[in-house]
Amino acid sequence: MWTLLLWLACNNAPSTELPPEGVLAREKMAQSLQDRDPSIVSQTAKEASVWEGKDPALDRLLGDALANVLMHPADGLRLLEANPLPTDSDWVTAHLSATMRSGDTTSMDAAWTAAGHPALNFNHPVVHQIVRRMLANPQIGPDMMANAISSCSLLDTQPQVGRKPLDQRVDPDLLKVAPMVGATQIVIGRPPFRGDPEPTSSRGPIYCSFKVLLNEWPTPLPKTMTVGLTDGVQRVFIDIKSNNGEAWAFATSDPDAAGRWLQATQLLGTPGGETAVRARYAEGLWNQ
């Protein structure tokens, strides 16, 4: 790898048209980046590095390879930022991924904003967990970072006191119905287990401030878990416990909104349920 980096640093000739063998090397590297196997990308990058500095498209591929597959984000960013192409989605994704792998939250925020995405809190503690995962796995892209920040930012806002009691059986339709009642975001989490890998391990669940994220309704059910939704302005959380293998809602942050959410879940299970839910909750849970 050090040999490859030295070749890249020393090949800075002015841009010229690539010879056929350079075009072939560029095409081979582009193909290897589809699967992102480090052993293959390392070889194609080594072959393409002979023409580094002579073709912007090749340099962008080299930048992606170095930053996001071979895990040298600083070297990859140098090439990506020297050959910007913000109208190209591949360059945008490679650049975002490289800034995230760099661990520099200021650069992450700047690149994210420049790409036209809604604001994210790159100072959230979960960011460094995702950086470690990205450095360990070339298949991970910006979506994991964005989803983790967004999900943890919502889950962390669950009030720790003042919850109101509930007592109703629930099922996975609680998640299915949420978009039909105006949810712009849904989150599900549970308390950490003693056997969970450490947050620094780059594996296992993603840790938010108080709970770990779940990707879907869990089977088997944990002892307790939390589901939450927001319409972009207001939010509601429902705490659920396992009772003889069944899921029971036992507390909520907003009894009125939670009650409507639970009613919508029941309505969904009736004939024509989805149409009825969308009609009844067309204005959302907080505008009834």
Q: Reduced to 3 states, what is the DSSP secondary structure of residue 155?
A: helix
Domain boundary among 102, 123, 150: 150
Domain boundary among 119, 150, 181: 150
Predicted local distance difference test score (pLDDT) of residue 200: 87
The closest alpha carbon to 94, from 136, 142, 131, 127, belongs to: 142
Q: Kindly state whether residue 91 falls inside one of the protein's structural domains.
A: yes
Name beta bridge partners: 230: 185, 235
Q: Are residues 110 and 176 in the same domain?
A: no
Q: Which domain holds residue 12?
A: 2-150
Predicted local distance difference test score (pLDDT) of residue 17: 85
Q: Are residues 146 and 208 in the same domain?
A: no
Q: Are residues 20 and 137 in the same domain?
A: yes
Please give the structure tokens belonging to residue 77. Answer: 């960013």
Q: Kindly state whether residue 249 falls inside one of the protein's structural domains.
A: yes
Q: Are residues 14 and 134 in the same domain?
A: yes
Q: Kindly state whether residue 155 falls inside one of the protein's structural domains.
A: no
Q: Tens digit of pLDDT per residue, the chain (288 long)?
A: 434 444 444 444 344 689 999 999 999 999 999 999 999 999 999 999 999 999 999 999 999 999 999 999 999 999 999 999 999 999 999 999 999 999 999 999 999 999 999 999 999 999 999 999 999 999 999 999 999 999 999 999 999 889 999 999 999 999 999 999 999 999 999 999 999 999 888 889 999 999 999 999 999 999 999 999 999 999 999 999 999 999 999 999 999 999 999 999 999 999 999 999 999 999 999 997
The closest alpha carbon to 30, from 88, 114, 116, belongs to: 88
Report the side by side order of strands in the sheet with 185-190.
164-170, 246-252, 235-243, 224-230, 185-190, 212-213
Q: Reduced to 3 states, what is the DSSP secondary structure of residue 163?
A: coil
What is the count of structural domains for the chain? Answer: 2
Q: Kindly state whether residue 276 falls inside one of the protein's structural domains.
A: yes
Q: Are residues 60 and 109 in the same domain?
A: yes
Contact in structure between 25 and 44 (CB atoms under 8 Å) = yes
The closest alpha carbon to 40, from 9, 80, 2, 70, belongs to: 70
Contact in structure between 97 and 141 (CB atoms under 8 Å) = yes
Q: Are residues 176 and 137 in the same domain?
A: no
Domain boundary among 128, 150, 172: 150
Predicted local distance difference test score (pLDDT) of residue 202: 87
Q: Give the whole-angstrom CA distance, residue 250 versus residue 241.
A: 7
Residues 77, 81, 83, 89, CA torsion sign: positive
